Amino acid sequence: MWPIRGMLADAGVTEQQWRVLRVLDEEGPMDPTSIAERAVLLLPSLTRILQKLEDKGFVTRERDESDRRRQIIRATETGRHIIAVNMDTSRKILTDLRERLGDDRHEVLIDLLNELTALDD
């Protein structure tokens, strides 16, 4: 799992920036609140992350004219490029991990972690 950080460092993004970009890449443009939910980030964190992503030219923001409190964030071509270039490596790191841990144990682990977080609702 660790190698993910190295890969992202080389790509010039942090883990959270990567998650946000992936959400936008996979689900299309959306407002910050939805991104935060899907990327499991609190809004104040997301605010800062979006500022960095915007500075780097990986996302753009646009006011939603039908509700001017809202914004629509979209990944730029450059932003989507980061995903495209690193997705294979990312997937490989995860499948390697799954393999090293064992398919069955990996699944049990995920289930137990989900159960654990479900306890806090």
Partner DNA sequence: CGCACTTTGTTAACTTGTTAAACAAAAGCA
Partner DNA sequence: TGCTTTTGTTTAACAAGTTAACAAAGTGCG
- Using CB under 7 A as the criterion, which residues of the chain lie in contact with DNA when the complex forms? 5, 14-17, 31-33, 41-52, 61, 66-71
Cβ count near 20 (within 10 Å): 29
Quote the CA–CA distance of 38 and 59 in Å, as a whole number: 17
Which residues make beta-bridge pairs with 72?
Answer: 62
Closest separation in Å from C-beta 104 to DNA: 28
Applying CB under 8 A, which part among 29-37, 40-48, 72-80, 109-117 lies near its own copies? 109-117
Task: Note whether 116 binds its own copies by CB under 8 A.
Answer: yes
Instruction: Return the axis-axis angle of helices 77-101 and 15-27, rounded to nearest 10°.
Output: 110
**Shorter beta-carbon distance to DNA: residue 69 or 104:** 69
Report which secondary-structure segment, H or E, holds 93.
helix 77-101
Residues 89-108 that bind its own copies (CB under 8 A): 97, 100-101, 105, 108
Q: Phi then psi for 24, rounded to 5 degrees?
A: -65, -35
Q: Which residues bind its own copies (CB under 8 A)?
A: 1-2, 97, 100-101, 105, 108-109, 112-113, 115-116, 119-120
